[in-house]
Chain A
Amino acid sequence: MNMKNKMILAITLFTVVNLFGISSYPVWFLYPSKYPNTITGYSYGGYSPTVDAERTYCVYNECVANGTLYTFQDSDKKNSEYFYYFSPKELKRIKGKLHSLSSFMTNVISSEYVKLFSTNKNINVDSRYIDLKNSTIPKWIKKRPFWQDKQFYYGVGEYQSKGSENDAWKTAEEQAIFEIMTNLAINFYSVNILDVTEKSERYEKATATKVKYKFKNIQIQKRWIDLNKQYYYVLIRIKKNNVISPYLN
């Protein structure tokens, strides 16, 4: 087989593997706790991983989570009116200061990739990959969604992907923080809605979950994916004295 054909075969194989999703992930991605002074950025919807990493850096450093999640009992619909607010000054400070240490692609077709960043460009990163094809469910997932020890609160976020892998990882990360909030303390309301018109009468129950938390130093510990069911899991921990909320008293 000549060189040209070998190249075509290699590219085809590479593309086919990526079309059907990846099954191997870098050690730094699955075990971020081993690299505490780093941040992961995802490319999504045209934004570069650098933009995502800068914003996530600010949120995980210090943020205030505030707002309400509405869920409607009769359907799977929800209306998320809660956000993680971070300082614009902090964003300005960190812009352009993150160095790319490593990256990998999650989707060739849509050019989605994930990058590891740090303010310290001299960190040595393990370049090994771990194949999750035949891996068993880690113990930390069985403890989901929340637990605590003397020092930390732990939250496990999970999300079933319906398209973008980067979106799934990002959502699972956010859900892990949300689990910490909702399992600790929230303000909860239940509302019954009776909608009467000339033609019909509709009864529905809606719930409102209010959150108000200040977080410092959110730490991502581990990630894992159930390749068969396309379930994405992320473990996050936050030191107890870095969690402040008026709802905790």
Chain B
Amino acid sequence: MKKVLILLLLVVFGLILLTGCGSKEVSGKKSPYMQMQKQANQYNKAGAVAVVGQGESSREDIARKKSHVDARANLAEALNVKVQTLSKSFLEEVGTTGDTEINEAFSRTTKTMASSVLKGSLPEDEIMVEDEGKITIYTLMVINPSTFNQSLMDEMNKSKNKKLYERFRSSQAYDELNNEMEAYEESQIEE
């Protein structure tokens, strides 16, 4: 009897140990976001502009779209920082620091460039995690630094010389505006 009891106790103890082991989770793995961010940091160190976006949904396509939108929003913010740095170096290069006309042309050009660059930005890598019907997608988005830097400098050098003529515009918009003003004049006469 004593032997049976001891055997039973050992079995129960063994079961407890097994359950305990099973319930413990040893986590040494990084989150998917941190994995992507590590990749982005490597791109950023190399001079690129790289960000991670995150999107969550019960549908994979929507989760992916959300992550792309999130990545592009982060990219716009990161680009802004990049553009500030480029702005400083451009002004130093052309020796016109403090020239507000240059700043205007620069901000106009960078706005246009940033929007076209964002339109052309494509995801570089992706991690998908599925958990209880919920899909989370992490997207790595990168902009090629040499293309962006050189394009920006080229555009600026082009636009710098043309800035005078930008103020006077020969355009079909003149007809629309003129019609508006003529209609306004007529309304004033009627009154």
Rounded to whole angstroms, the CA-CA distance of A55 and B168 in the bound complex is 7
Q: Which residue of A lies closest to B187 (CB)?
A: A246
B130 within 8 A of A: no
Rounded to whole angstroms, the CA-CA distance of A54 and B77 in the bound complex is 42
Q: SS class of chain B's interface: helix, strand, loop or mixed?
A: helix
The answer to whether B174 touches A64, judged by C-beta atoms less than 8 angstroms apart, is: yes
The answer to whether A86 touches B168, judged by C-beta atoms less than 8 angstroms apart, is: yes
The answer to whether A83 touches B99, judged by C-beta atoms less than 8 angstroms apart, is: no
The answer to whether A64 touches B177, judged by C-beta atoms less than 8 angstroms apart, is: yes
The answer to whether A91 touches B98, judged by C-beta atoms less than 8 angstroms apart, is: no
Name A170-222 residues within 8 Å CB distance of B.
170-171, 174, 197, 214
A44 within 8 A of B: yes
Rounded to whole angstroms, the CA-CA distance of A78 and B106 in the bound complex is 11
Q: SS class of chain A's interface: helix, strand, loop or mixed?
A: mixed
Partner pick for A79 among B107, B178, B181, CB 8 A cutoff? B107
The answer to whether B169 touches A162, judged by C-beta atoms less than 8 angstroms apart, is: no
Name A147-174 residues within 8 Å CB distance of B.
162-163, 167, 170-171, 174
B125 within 8 A of A: no
Partner pick for A214 among B167, B168, B170, B178, CB 8 A cutoff? B178
Name B98-116 residues within 8 Å CB distance of A.
98-101, 103-104, 107-108
A14 to chain B, nearest CB (A): 26
Partner pick for B174 among A78, A87, A163, CB 8 A cutoff? A87
Q: Chain A interface residue count: which class?
A: 35 or more
Counted as pairs of residues, one from A and one from B, with CB atoms less than 8 Å apart, the total is: 87
Q: Which residues of chain A are near B150, meaning CB under 8 Å?
A: none
Q: Chain B interface residue count: which class?
A: 20 to 34
The answer to whether B188 touches A249, judged by C-beta atoms less than 8 angstroms apart, is: yes
Contact flag A162-B96 (CB < 8 Å), given A55-B170, A84-B168: yes
The answer to whether B181 touches A77, judged by C-beta atoms less than 8 angstroms apart, is: no
B 143-176 to A, binary, CB cutoff 8 A, 1 in contact else 0: 0000000000000000011101111111111110
Contact flag A79-B167 (CB < 8 Å), given A45-B162, A64-B181, A163-B96: no
B93 within 8 A of A: no
Rounded to whole angstroms, the CA-CA distance of A44 and B101 in the bound complex is 15
* Residues of A in contact with B (beta carbons under 8 Å apart): 42, 44-47, 52, 55-56, 58-59, 63-64, 66, 76-80, 83-88, 91, 162-163, 167, 170-171, 174, 197, 214, 244, 246, 249
* Residues of B in contact with A (beta carbons under 8 Å apart): 77, 96, 98-101, 103-104, 107-108, 160-162, 164-175, 177-178, 181, 184-185, 188
